[in-house]
Amino acid sequence: MDDLLAARGQMALSLAFHIIFAIVGMGMPLLMVLAEWLYRRRGDLHYLELAKRWSKGTAIMFAVGAVSGTVLSFELGLLWPGFMAFAGPVIGMPFSLEGFAFFLEAIFLGIYLYGWERVSPRAHLAAGVMVLLSGSLSAVFVLCANAWMNTPQGFALVDGMPAEVDLWAAMLNPASLPEGLHMLTAAFCAVGFAVAGIHAAALLRGRTPDFHRRALGIAFAVGGVAAFLTPLTGHVAAEQVAHTQPVKLAAMEGQWDDERGAPLRLFGLPDEAREVTEYAIEVPKLLSFIAYADFDAEVKGLRSFPADERPPVAVTHLAFQVMILAGMAMMGVAALGGLALVRRRRLADTPGLLRLIVLASPLGVVAIEAGWTVTEVGRQPWVIYKIMRTAEAVTPMPGLWIPFTTFTALYLFLGAAVVVLLRRQVWVADHPEAEVAHE
Amino acid sequence: MSAALVVAAVILVALVVYTLTAGADFGGGVWDLLARGRTAAAEHRLIDRAIAPIWEANHVWLILVVVLLFVCFPAAYAGISTVLHIPLTVMLVGVVLRGSAFTFAAYDPMPGGGARRFRRLFAISSLLTPVALGVVLGAVSTAVEVDPRTGRVVGDFVSAWLEPYPFAVGLFVLALFAYLAAVYLIHEADDEALRVIFRRRAQVSGVLTGGAALLAFLVAREGAPRIHEGLVSAAWSTPLHLVTGAAALVALWALHRRRDHLARAAAMLQAALIVVGWGLAQYPYLAVPGYTIEGAAAPEGVLWPVLIALAAGSVLLLPALVYLVRVFKARPVRGDG
């Protein structure tokens, strides 16, 4: 395996792994705060039990997120020293602020998880709100840095290095807000659906229904609302890509020729050798409308760009299709859930819907992984769009397949351990007699 | 004072705080490994309780150091992470295993063989990580060479750190972390039997820390001449050594007399002065000999806004941090003095 590919593999793996834990750090605090708030308002002890159960799962996930995030901040230098020597100062502001946001998140999560008996009820709920805010902020800051790689600004190029750096302009680049919004809604959607699926499965098995019904209600409400918001924020992000990275949009759509009134393609397989996209269902003129709010607007095709400045088209297009399909499926399930509520039927009493929720539960995470594949692969061959190629950024260190293999094994092991532990946490929720107190 | 120097000072302060907080969390893992006999279960519980609520917050100081390095000294960060790729990767694996294995063991609702193995993994990675950290710090003091024509680091990815001096520093860091943890755990124990155990361990590890310091100092004469020179002949060196040595002796005496509060204060002062002494001996280098603080710094237009953001962030952060410590560490200490 060549070293550049190994470095890209390790970075992709580290991001794909970390992101699952990062979204849990954003989504779970919302679910826990809602449960605790409902307990305080209604005095229903099931909600208190729920907040405590959820907080145990969150503690496991947050710990893995904290350490895998550390790996990423080191890997920026270990794998991409050329990138960091150039970009480090320019994207310094979001990274510095992210440090503080993460610090606050860690502090208040410690208080939330371990402070049930040590701080007042009001302070406890406030700590949960702080975790929610700082977790989301921390994600938004990291996204500002990623957005800068897509729409770099806030510096002048002098002798190949940045000068006259404007930190705020770099941080608040055109892609920051669209990326941040889209990721926030997607994270709440993914966590809501994943948690709803766990509790729906428990309900189908007939376990402690009072507990799981409340859990399902909160998680599905959050996931369902976010499932409708995410396409909206995604639309904002797509418009942004159309204006600033037309070649990425062309790859996402498998659009080879410049075209007025370009169609939106569903499915389809781009053939990069023959430069065609086959087997696609084309919706006439819709792409032009979505990208530029004009049915006859011209969309640039891949052929307009030099071959060595195009991203891998098939991967980008397929990942984009996976994201869209997963998103639509979740919207559909959310709509059915809304319909059931309108008809005054309890979710817990409609086994068909519960089964659908179980089936849909991994889709949010799938959509997020696919969406990140679109963003990152779609930016290739650049690490900083039109400024620095990924190949120029990589470390001269040889034998990079060794750390790549090491981290792959490490993350497989951690992933398996997390799954086992979360299953146990869910199981003891219904079998409290099996739980062994640690203290 | 230049902006670059201020940032370097902030990095040094963050390293001091990391040593005093996260360092002790690693040290806790070392004692977890050595827990034996009838009190082993009680020791595990004590170490759990001491680490669980705060280790993630303590860990963030390391992230702060890394972020400040790559934002404010990008060339040095790129150079260091290139030549020290291997020990940094080992350290990262240790960081990942320590944090996750600790949490897995603590959050297994049905603890059995699995939890015991995670506990073991947590303890072993607590042993490995400080050594790797010390190797990195030792190598940063000696062998980060830069080709003046290309401005890039030179080296073969191994010879910069596979030397006696970095490993002597690694040993020293491990001993220091274990010593700090033992001194803190005296306070957090609520039973006199455990206090007796950790007082004895603090004394032993305190003496070992002194021995490891002496070893590193002796090896430095050949292995890290610039650091050695700074530690021996700079204007600040004699007073600093005297105060550090005095703090060490006071800590050992206080442990002997069971004056636990005094012992903790003296041990913290001792550890802080050691890190500060290392930083002063590095001056004016960030990484010896390739990168100086002034030479590797990002433009002032970057440094000042980042410093202002740090100051503004601290206004939010410090009260939160104090609150965390008060909630979890303010327990009455009985049997003191």
Residue pLDDT, tens place only, B64-88: 999 999 999 998 999 999 899 999 9
CA distances from A348 to A209, A427, B64 (A): 8, 19, 46
Q: How far apart are CA B267 and CA B198, in angstroms?
A: 14
Over chain A, what is the mean pLDDT?
91
Q: Give chain A positions within 8 Å (CB) of B77.
A: 77, 81, 84-85, 88
For B299, which DSSP code? Answer: P
Nearest-angstrom CA–CA distance, A223 and A381: 35
Q: Which of B44, B84, B96 to mutate to test the interface with A (most CBs of A within 10 A)?
A: B96
| Cα distance between residue A250 and residue A243, in whole Å | 12
What does the pLDDT look like over A186-218, one tens digit per residue? Answer: 999 999 999 999 999 999 988 788 899 999 999
Chain A positions touching B88 (Cβ under 8 A) are: 74, 78
What confidence score (pLDDT) does residue B330 get?
67
| Predicted local distance difference test score (pLDDT) of residue B288 | 84
Whether omega for the bond prior to residue A381 falls within 30 degrees of 0, making it cis, is yes
Q: What angle do CA A111, A112, A113 make, to 5 degrees?
A: 95
Burial class (CB in 10 A: 0-12, 13-18, 19+), A189: buried
pLDDT at B337: 31
Ranges of chain B with pLDDT below 70: 330-337
Mutate to test the interface with B, among A86, A107, A157 (most CBs of B within 10 A): A107
Assess contact for B58 and B22: CB atoms under 8 A. yes
- Burial label for B148, CB within 10 Å (0-12, 13-18, 19+), is exposed
pLDDT for position A9: 93
Q: How far apart are CA B244 and CA B248, in angstroms?
A: 6
In this predicted structure, what is the pLDDT of residue A13? 94
Half-sphere exposure of B213 (CA within 13 A, CB side): 21
Q: Mind listing the pLDDT tens digit for each residue in A258-278?
A: 999 899 998 989 998 898 898
Q: How far does CA A37 lie from the centroid of its chain?
A: 26
Closest-CA distance of chain B to residue A432, Å: 10
State the smallest CA–CA distance between residue A330 and chain B in angstroms.
31
Summarize the confidence of residues A138-157 as an average pLDDT: 94
Question: Would you place residue A436 in the very low, low, confident or very high pLDDT band (cuts 50, 70, 90)?
Answer: low
Give tens-digit pLDDT for A28-62. Answer: 999 999 999 999 999 999 999 999 999 988 988 98
| pLDDT given for residue B222 in this prediction | 87
pLDDT at B332: 44
Q: For A355-406, what is each residue's pLDDT tens digit?
A: 999 999 999 999 999 999 999 999 999 999 999 999 999 998 888 999 999 9
Contact A115 B108 (CB under 8 A): no
pTM (two decimals): 0.90
Q: What is the chain B residue with the closest CA to A163? A: B299
Q: How confident is the model at residue A245 (pLDDT cuts 50, 70, 90)?
A: very high
At A90-125, the pLDDT tens digits run: 998 999 999 899 889 989 998 998 888 889 999 999
Q: Say whether the ipTM exceeds 0.90.
A: no
What per-residue confidence (pLDDT) applies to A439?
42
CB neighbours of residue B248 within 10 Å: 23
pLDDT on residue A311? 95
Residue A214: per-residue pLDDT: 93
Q: Which of B7, B17, B45, B60 to mutate to test the interface with A (most CBs of A within 10 A)?
A: B60
Q: Which two tokens stand for residue B169?
A: 């520093």
